[in-house]
Structure 1
Amino acid sequence: MIERLAVIDFETTGITPGREGRATEIGIVMLEGGAIVDRFQSLMNAGVRVPPMIEQLTGISNAMVRSAPAATSVMRDAANFVGRTPLVAHNASFDRKFWDFELAQCGLARTQDFACTLLLSRRLLPQAPDHKLGTLTRWAGLPATGRAHRALADAEMAANLLLHLGQTMARSCRQPVSHALLCKLQAVTAAKVPQFLQQH
């Protein structure tokens, strides 16, 4: 994949954005020419408490969040870093909700689509034991990137997975693998994936 892509990951205080569910950390990895070319990471203070279960999972404490920059400031920087670059995430329905919500707190709105490495891995790697990011990373022999459930490490894992998926897809596709093609494939039912790849 030659095209420039932004792979993002959030750590949050809950599963749904709102008064109790806010982002505590964002990690973004820029891919270009099949390699990571840039990174962005920041903790973010949205003025909410980190529940003990989330602190145990992520290692992000209330003290860390209290001393972090304001969430609106971080999101403005993140939006500037990404620009109009197409977006990718693992389980993108989750990260998309938080990206859109946190952008809205700054008066900004997303203009580009998300490709989802979870949906794509279900279609391209049906033989994997499951499609969790850590499982796929180990199963495919991809590099370990650091502690799971920290935003930059997870974004780097998703970026490496995306490159692996792109290589898998390229073996069956006639046309170059692009973000637009990934978005089309993730909407195809599993049964129609072979036909889709032959046609493209």
Structure 2
Amino acid sequence: MQKRTLADSVVVLDFETTGLSPQYGDRAIEIGAVLVEEGRIVDRFQKLMNPGFRISSFIEAYTGITNEMLKGEACCEEVMAQFSEFIAGHNIVAHNASFDKRFLDFELKRANRSYEGVCCCSLLVSRRIYQDSPNHKLQTLVSHAGVPTIGSFHRALADAEMTAHLWLAMIDRIRKQYGIPTVFFDQLSELSRVDKLYAHRYLTSLAD
């Protein structure tokens, strides 16, 4: 039986990419991640990567990453081979995780690497925890939850750090509001799939 892992001991990651889908030829151009152990950021990983073609002016403006910046960087496969070592043995959190996981799986496969962890979406969890937030974009939630703004939005490491602080803020809220001293990763994974109308009932049941 697999050992339960703590919700506050994870790798939080974010990709910047050339577009929305690797199925249609889009590639990663930046990976940023933080390693969180028992509620503290203890390590960071950030790399630009050259996708092998010019990126659009829209992506340059959106991310602040330019073709000039990518020119001398390592290819995606080389960076992702390094990143596979960073995430080894850890569960993963990302904001809008279905997007990031698509690129993670695609780029790891191209690098002949894999990972064993489970991925949880902080956006889905936030819809259950912060039901009064105007929306659940990272930038909105950072303000709504009182999370510190770090760096620039739409740069991978800054987004990963802010997502990590948001994730920890949600865990802290669960602990205080529901009197649950220890929150496990699988509990938040399950919460992300619970209808938000029943989120309070689910969290209350964890305290029993």
Fold shared, TM-score > 0.5 on shorter chain: yes
Aligned to 1:184: 190
Deviation at 1:19, TM superposition (A): 5.3
User: Distance in 1 between the 2:24 and 2:96 partners?
Assistant: 22
Moved over 3 A (4+): none
Residue 144 of structure 1 is matched in structure 2 by: 149
Aligned residue number for residue 98 of structure 2: 93
Kept in 1, the 8 Å contact 2:18–2:59? The answer is yes
- What is the aligned-residue RMSD (CA, Å)? 1.4
- Report the secondary structure of 2:167's partner residue: helix
CA deviation map 1:142-175 (0-9, x unaligned): 1111011000000001000000111112231536
Please give the alpha-carbon distance, in whole angstroms, between the structure 2 residues aligned to 1:121 and 1:19: 30
TM-superposition CA deviations, 1:84-112 (whole Å, max 9, x none): 20000000000000000000001122322
Which structure 2 residue ranges, 5 or more long, are not aligned? 1-5
TM-score, reference length from structure 2: 0.92
Secondary structure of 2:55's partner?
coil
Whole-angstrom CA distance in 1 between matches of 2:53 and 2:93:
27
Q: Residue 167 of structure 1 is aligned with which of 147, 169, 172? A: 172
1:68 maps to what in 2?
Answer: 73
- Tell me if the contact between 1:22 and 1:48 (Cα under 8 Å) persists in the aligned partners: no
| SS across alignment from 1:27 | strand
Letter in 1 for 2:192: Q
Question: Equivalent of 1:22, from 22, 27, 30?
Answer: 27
TM-score (norm 1): 0.95
Helix, strand or coil for the counterpart of 1:28? strand
Kept in 2, the 8 Å contact 1:2–1:32? The answer is no
* Equivalent residues, number: 200
Q: Which residue of 1 aligns with 2:45?
A: 40
Deviation at 1:127, TM superposition (A): 0.4
1:112 to 101, 114, 117: 117
Q: Partner of 1:126 in structure 2?
A: 131
**Percent of aligned positions that are identical:** 41
Amino acid at match of 1:155: A
| Runs of 5+ consecutive residues of structure 1 not aligned to the other structure | none
Instruction: Output the CA distance in 2 between the equivalents of 1:193 and 1:24.
Output: 36
Alpha-carbon distance between aligned partners in 1 of 2:179 and 2:193, rounded to the nearest angstrom: 17
